[in-house]
Amino acid sequence: MSRLQIGAVCLFLALLSIAATRYGGYPAINDYHDIEVYFQRGSWVTTGQEPYRDVFSEYPQVATWLFAVPHVAAEAWFRLNGTRQYDLQTYRYVFSVLMALFLAATLVMLHDLRPDRKWLVFLLLLPAGWYFTHNRFDIVPAFLVLSSLAALRRNRYHGAFILLAIATATKWYALVLVPVFLVYTFHTRRRILFSAAVSYPLVLAVIVLPTLLAIGWEGFLIPYRFHLTRTGNPESLFHLLLVTLTRLGLFQPEPLLRKVFFLLQFAIAPLCVFARIDTWEKALRWSALAVICFILFAKFYSPQWILWFVPLLVLLARTRGEIAGIVVFDLVTFLYFPYIYYLEDKHPLWFPGIIALKTALLGIWL
């Protein structure tokens, strides 16, 4: 893709985000809830407070820093123009444009990694893919994971582990790819396995060190404790099974189910250790399996997680059925959120029905 084409893609997606933020309705185009949360989580940068201790954040370090970027950009813009102080709406504009640029970068990378069927990259612009890029930040860790896989393909092993560490400090799900990367490096470049692998914890240590120095272990553990005590939501397979088993009245399933599902989230790790992952295509496939397994067995499910694995499926898709599966999952996700999710008079079976369908599609890919 030429520089002119890249620039055109960036400009188009940025203008689309601005127009959507300005003219789009709620919740079909703009879902304000999470962006308002990001606004609050990133406010520490303009108030001089410490993240986590003074301004709560349930997100890891890079994500918490990322939420501060629109604050800094918006404040700098208004100071430059000598106008009023920026507000939440300004933050939304800056945030949506920033996410549009990450989406553009992801599309360009997919375009380069999939030269045989370049048009498949536009599957990321299907309704749910675009919607959650516009209203969430999950395109950022998705881009970082894809970048780490691209580095692995170019035999840049140290860079791959470094990018994976940054991705993990943005969204923790990237941790499940570490075993895949280790096994792949073991089979393809064994002599640098240690030096490449050790870069992962070193980068993570550098990222978390400022937090530890500023607020200590108690402050550092705030987001981890939050997620460990988090309960399931109706969109998860965990919740569907829990409700079913409870209604059957056979036993009290929740404690056991929590432990089983937690283990299943990381089930790909021990399996890939015994696999011979000696090509990039195998590493890509095992990475997709690891991410989907992590999502499927999470006690809490969020629809924006579609951005975590669809870029990987775009690279793997070979048949019409596989391509159709991506399209169907995107449309089902968009139907469930925001449409069915926000319906006040929805039929009592609509929501569990669409969630069951979404879960079944994930299971088929797994």
Q: What angle do CA 197, 199, 201 make, to 5 degrees?
A: 90
**What pLDDT score was predicted for residue 334?**
94
Distance from C-alpha of 248 to C-alpha of 243, rounded to nearest angstrom? 9
Distance from C-alpha of 51 to C-alpha of 220, rounded to nearest angstrom? 10
Distances (CA, A) of 251 to 50, 236, 243, 262, 357: 45, 20, 12, 19, 26
Strands annotated E in the chain: none
Would you write out the chain's pLDDT as a tens digit for each of its 366 residues?
Answer: 777 788 888 889 999 999 999 999 888 999 989 999 999 999 999 888 999 999 999 999 999 999 999 999 888 877 776 666 678 888 999 999 999 999 999 999 999 999 888 899 999 999 999 999 999 999 999 999 999 999 999 999 999 999 999 999 999 999 999 999 999 999 999 999 999 999 999 999 999 999 999 999 998 999 999 988 887 788 888 888 888 888 887 666 788 888 899 999 999 988 998 999 999 999 999 999 999 999 999 988 999 999 999 999 999 999 999 999 999 999 999 998 998 888 756 555 666 777 777 778 777 766
Q: Which residues pair with 55 in a beta bridge?
A: 51
Query: Which candidate, 136, 185, 186, 187, places its Cα nearest to that of 164?
Result: 185
Domain ranges of the chain: 3-365
Distances (CA, A) of 223 to 51, 58, 218: 11, 4, 10
**What pLDDT score was predicted for residue 308?**
98
Give me the sign of the Cα torsion angle 126, 151, 58, 357.
Answer: positive
Can you give the pTM of this predicted structure? Answer: 0.94
CB distance 44 to 50 below 8 Å: yes
pLDDT digits (tens, 9 = 90+) for 125-151: 999 999 999 999 999 999 999 999 999
Phi, psi (degrees; rounded to nearest 5) at 55: -120, 110
In DSSP notation, 119-144 reads GGGGGGGSHHHHHHHHH-STHHHHHH
Could you tell me the maximum CA-CA distance found in the chain, to the nearest angstrom?
Answer: 67
**What pLDDT score was predicted for residue 131?**
98
The tokens for 13 are 């997606």
In DSSP notation, 159-179 reads HHHHHHHHHHTT-GGGGGGHH
